Amino acid sequence: MTRLEATVHGHVQGVGFRWYVVRRASRLGLTGWVANQADGSVRLVAEGPDEVLERLAEIISHGPAGARVDRVDAVRLPASGSFTGFVVRASAHGGD
């Protein structure tokens, strides 16, 4: 199990990006969270198998209709195993 921490930059707020991530990550069986950031980006943390996280990374690099993804900053870390589902968290959520 691996952890993906990513910040998505571009026109990604006000276009349903967070709920798009929740739906797609949940369908993939991933756990974690997604939140809007004060600078207009969207941050997410997802945990699961490497190959499934790779699929999520591809998904967030495009986003839903209406979004424009300019850049995704991402790192992979060991999974914490502390999540039970995939949820939207309050804006500018700082961590786990």
List residues with catalytic annotation: 18, 36
Element of type H or E holding 4? strand 2-11
2/46 Cα distance (integer angstroms): 8
The DSSP bridge pattern shows strands 86-88 and 42-48 to be unpaired
Q: What angle do CA 66, 42, 6 make, to 5 degrees?
A: 115
Strands lying side by side in the sheet with 31-36? 68-78, 2-11, 42-48, 31-36, 86-88
